[in-house]
Structure 1
Amino acid sequence: MIRKNEILSREERKPIVWDAFFNQNSQKKPLVIFCHGYKGFKDWGAWNLVAKEFVKANMVFVKFNFSHNGGTVDNPIDFPDLDAFAENNYSKELEDLDAMLNHLLAANNPFRNEIDARDITVIGHSRGGGIAIIKASEDNRITKLITWASICDFGKRTATVGDLEQWKKDGVKYVLNGRTKQQMPHNYQFYEDYMANKERLNIKKAIKSLTIPVLIVHGTDDPSVFFSEAESLHAWNSSTNLFAMANANHVFNSKHPWEENKLPDALQQVVDKSIDFIK
Structure 2
Amino acid sequence: MNSSTSIVNGELQVTSDRCLRYSIFEPTDSPESLATLIFIPGFKGFKDWGGWPWFCGLVSAKRYRVLAINPTMCGVGSALTEFDEPDKFSHQTLSHDVEDLAALLNSPIIPHTEPLFLVGHSRGGIVAALSANHQRQNAQRKIDGVVTLGTPHDLMRLDSKELDQWREQGYRDIVNVRTGEVLKQDVKVLEDYMLHSSQYDPAKALAETGIPVLGIHGTEDPAVSADSLDLLMSGVSHPHSRKELIAGAGHTFGMVHPHQGAHEYAETVVKILADWLREAVQR
- Alignment of 1:7 with 2:16, yes or no, is no
Count of residues in correspondence between the two structures: 265
Deviation at 1:196, TM superposition (A): 2.5
2:186 equivalent in structure 1: 187
What TM-score results when the alignment is normalised by the length of structure 1?
A: 0.88
Deviant stretches of 4+, over 3 Å? 23-29, 115-118
The answer on 1:53 being equivalent to 2:42 is: no
SS in structure 1 of the partner of residue 115 of structure 2: strand
Within 5 Å, give how 1:64-79 maps onto structure 2.
Answer: 64-73=69-78, 75-79=79-83
Return closer, same or farther for 1:179/1:155 CA change in 2, 3 Å cut-off. Answer: closer
2:68 maps to a residue whose letter is K
**Structure 2 partner of 1:241:** 242
Distance 1:160 1:47, change over 3 A: farther
The letter for the 1-side match of 2:60 is V
Structure 1 residue matching 2:234: 3-state secondary structure = helix
TM-score, with structure 2 as normaliser: 0.86
Structure 1 equivalent of residue 223 of structure 2: 224
Q: Name the amino acid aligned to 2:90.
A: A
Query: How far 1:51 sits from its partner (Å)?
Result: 1.5
| Paired AA for residue 53 in structure 1 | L
CA distance in 2, matches of 1:180, 1:27: 37
Distance (Å, rounded) in 1 between the aligned partners of 2:157 and 2:265: 28
Change (3 A) 1:55 1:177: closer
Deviation string 1:123-148 (CA, Å, 9 cap, x unpaired) is 01001111111112222421111100
Distance 1:116 1:275, change over 3 A: farther
Partner residue of 1:99 out of 99, 103, 115: 103
C-alpha separation in 2, matches of 1:176 and 1:145: 29
Q: How many angstroms does 1:11 deviate by?
A: 3.2
Q: Which runs of 5+ in 2 are unaligned?
A: 1-5, 137-141, 279-283
Alpha-carbon distance change, 3 to 191 in structure 1, aligned in 2, over 3 angstroms: same
1:132 aligns with 2:128: yes
1:172-210 CA distance string (max 9 Å, x none): 221222233322101111012112222211122112223
Please tell me whether the aligned partners of residues 34 and 114 of structure 2 are also in contact (alpha carbons under 8 angstroms).
no
Residues 46, 258 of structure 1: 8 Å contact kept = yes
Contact 1:234 1:241 in 2 (8 A): no
Query: Aligned letter for 2:92?
Result: N
Report the CA distance between 1:163 and its aligned residue: 3.5
Contact 2:207–2:233 (CA under 8 A) maintained in structure 1 = no
1:121 and 2:117 equivalent? yes
Aligned mate of 1:88, from 88, 92, 110? 92
- Letter aligned with residue 49 of structure 1: W
Aligned to 1:178: 177
Distance 1:57 1:44, change over 3 A: same
Inter-partner Cα distance in structure 1 for 2:263 and 2:46: 19
Against the structure 1 CA distance between its residues 118 and 27, is the aligned structure 2 distance closer, same or farther, given a 3 Å change threshold? closer
Greater CA drift, 263-272 or 166-175: 166-175
Question: Hey, what's the Cα distance between the residues in 2 that align with 1:246 and 1:85?
Answer: 33
Q: Secondary structure at the match of 1:236?
A: coil
Match of 2:48 in 1: 43
The 1-side partners of 2:200 and 2:76 are apart by 24
Contact 2:42–2:124 (Cα < 8 Å) also in 1: yes
Unaligned 5+ runs, structure 1: none
User: What is the letter of the counterpart of residue 247 of structure 1?
Assistant: G
Aligned-partner residue type, residue 119 of structure 1: P
2:182 corresponds to which letter in structure 1?
A: Q
